[in-house]
Amino acid sequence: MTGCYDSLPTAVRLVEVAPRDGWQNLIDFIPTETKVELIDDFGSCGFKEIEVSSFVSPKAIPQLKDATAVFKAIKPLVGLVTAALVPNRRGLTPALVAGVDKIVFFISASDTHNRKNLGCPQKQTLAEIEAMFKIVPDDVARRVSISNVFGCPYEGDIAFPAVARLIESLAAFGFEEITLCDTLGVATPSQVYNFSCRLQESLPEIDFGLHLHDSCGRALACVMAGLQAGIDRYDTATGGLGGCPYAPGAAGNLATEDLLSCLDLMGIKTGIDSGALLAVAQRQAQVTKIANSHMLAFSAGYNGE
């Protein structure tokens, strides 16, 4: 690598989010034991963190109604962090009882999307997050994900100052890990680079990550922009599954296979076994009955074709 690629991170952390974000919109319920088997298989691939499920209302997300049972059944692995998305205090208590390693709070950069997704204004969610942050024991990690950072289906572009003010409030609560989410999948590489550089410059103590959807086919290009800005943590979903029920038109997440293949070929370490991931991708495709074109390209690349 030469020129602008000389300063890229030498290692990248991939957070597998298929079990939560990837499966949440599936209509056919995946049996709990099958979920557990797949999550255990993901763990064996070398991921350091997996977003396992979400403690939300079963009426809102029926697919994840078995979050407690899943967490209690998955195999604990040394070095693997199991995370759960938690929207409010009603979900926080069962998450802590289930033994979740990391609580992921979430809020939207768009007040309109926040009202549709969480049923309340952004200001109210911010207060709820502050209250929950204080309740979580010190031995449980905490992260907050901000949706629609780069564009909202209802409000359009979100101005950087509004995003920065929200992040400053969250940092003041004590968050050290914040993920910037392109929920709609409309971010441009220049936007990702600009936001990432400015935020890291003003808040160098925060571990920023990116969560990218691929609606416009720009997710991988946005990763390159993030890498150039020094971001080394990315949410991905095997098979490119996912999408937000309150972001009409949004495609799935950046496929783990696509990013892993690219990083491997660039010599950037992830610690993930590509062969093991391919096997899990095949099993997931069989379970979900969703064809995986990412898996086909991934397999061909590693066969040298």
CATH code where residue 236 lies: 3.20.20.70
Based on the structure, what is the number of domains in the chain? 1
The count of other CB atoms within 10 Å of the CB of residue 193 is: 18
> Would you call 244 a catalytic residue per the annotation?
yes
Crossing angle between the packed helical segments 32-44 and 274-288, to the nearest 10 degrees = 160
In Å, the largest CA–CA distance within the chain is 53
* Domain-embedded: residue 160: yes
- Whether residue 304 is contained in a domain is answered as no
pTM here?
0.94
The active-site residue, picked from 152, 181, 222, 244, is 244
| 286 within domain boundaries | yes
CA 267 to chain centre: 23
What angle, 0 to 180 degrees and rounded to 10, lies between the N-to-C axes of helices 160-173 and 122-135? 20
Q: Which domain holds residue 74?
A: 3-299
Residue 305 inside a domain? The answer is no
| DSSP symbol at 80 | P
Mind listing the pLDDT tens digit of every residue in the chain (305 residues)? 345 666 899 999 999 999 999 999 899 999 999 999 999 999 999 999 999 999 999 998 999 999 999 999 999 999 999 999 999 999 999 999 999 999 999 999 999 999 998 889 999 999 999 999 999 999 999 999 999 999 998 999 999 999 999 999 999 999 999 999 999 999 999 999 999 999 999 999 999 999 999 988 999 999 999 999 999 999 999 999 987 665 655 668 999 999 999 999 999 999 999 999 999 999 999 999 988 877 665 666 555 44
CB 214 within 8 A of CB 252: yes
Asked if residue 264 belongs to a domain, the reply is yes
